[in-house]
Amino acid sequence: MNQQQTDAVTAVNIQTIQPVREFFGARTDTQVHANATHLIGFGFDGTACFRKGTRNGPDGLRAVSEDIESYSPYLDADLHDHSFYDLGNLSLGTGADIEGQWQHATDQFDALFGPVDLAAHGVRVLTLGGEHSISYAPIRKYLQQYPDLVLLHLDAHADLRDGFLGYHYSHASIIRRSLDHFGPNHELIQYGIRSGTREEYQYMREHQTIRTSRKDFLDSVAAIAADRPIYLTLDLDYFDPAFLPGTGTPEPGGEDFHSYVSLMKILRGKNLVGADVVELSPEIDPTGNSDVFAAKIVRELLIVLNEKGAR
């Protein structure tokens, strides 16, 4: 690794919470580094409206990572061939107010990554949730940094409500809040959606954001210009609950692991600049199968992000 790759690009250390263990042998640090991928946990489930527990998602993913292979036979690549950083978990503060907890961690994310020019320094961020409201901070940062960003949204739910159950920044409104920061050259592509209001479906059809077949979705991603930046926000209820029951709002009719691998193979040839993976609730699935499934999802994604940095 050359000196540029090891240089920190943040002026101050942000004191995050030590993770239960680093993910897949990542280096631990509290600074952002050039030409590197960074994991950050945001374990919050305050606006979850059905089953809670996603606050334990980031460390649930880390806990099982040492027990599965770092090598992906699907991509014929190994995470151990790359260096990446685990920055620990964002703090929710000490208060009991739900919105205050979310804001505290969001402010900490902004303090950590806000001063960083992601594109200029080759910085990539993979945020681990937590419920889907945690994606607001990274998505907003990426939209600000990349004026032609494509936001890929994989989810069972449209998440286009203008707030839900009194929360403006709800897990059910994350895409609506992201659209607040869209510029004329940003683009939204949604797939896996199978639950939403009439109004949400009207919006998706009118603005042609939704893809209703796997082929149409994969073709849409394949058609994205190779140098155009892409950010992936992945709610794990995108997958059928038969495969991954450990999530707060499961919906039948979801996708499987192999459809996800098909996407990763396409993204290897694209400009994937960041991502988040949210809505793992370890306590809902006592078998631990959901944790392992989700950890392998993150493994494939990390390989693609790290390969982007190695070019």
pLDDT digits (tens, 9 = 90+) for 210-267: 999 999 999 999 999 999 999 999 999 999 999 999 998 999 999 999 999 999 999 9
Q: Tell me which residue has tokens 């460390």.
A: 59
- DSSP E strand stretches across the chain: 27-28, 36-42, 71-72, 77-78, 85-89, 123-129, 150-154, 187-191, 210-211, 229-235, 271-278
Q: Compute the average pLDDT of residues 4-31.
A: 81
CA 121 vs. chain centroid, Å, equals 20
In DSSP terms, which residues pair with 230 in a beta bridge? 150, 272
214 class by beta-carbon count within 10 Å (0-12 exposed, 13-18 middle, 19+ buried)? middle
- Please give the Cα distance from 83 to 96 (Å, whole number): 37
- The predicted pLDDT at position 98 comes to 85
Give Dmax over CA atoms of the chain in angstroms. 53
3-state secondary structure of 52: coil
Of 9-18, 119-128, 263-272, 297-306, the least confident: 9-18
CB atoms within 10 A of CB 95: 11
- What is the distance between the alpha carbons of residues 282 and 63, in angstroms, rounded to a whole number? 10
Does residue 1 carry a pLDDT above 70?
no
Cα(54)–Cα(92) distance, integer angstroms: 14
Reply yes or no on whether the pLDDT at 5 is more than 70.
no
Provide the percentage of residues in the chain whose pLDDT is more than 90.
78
Q: What is the mean pLDDT of residues 128-140?
A: 94
Cα-flanking dihedrals φ and ψ of residue 291, to 5°? -65, -45
Over the stretch 165-200, which tens digit does the pLDDT of each residue have? 566 667 678 999 999 999 999 999 999 999 999 999
CA 297 to chain centre: 11
CB 65 within 8 Å of CB 295: yes
Q: Which residues, in sequence order, are CB contacts of 95 under 8 Å at separation 6+?
A: 101, 104
- Terminus-to-terminus CA distance in the chain, angstroms? 13
What band does 46 get if pLDDT is binned at 50, 70 and 90? low
Q: Which of 5-14, 101-110, 135-144 has the lowest average pLDDT?
A: 5-14
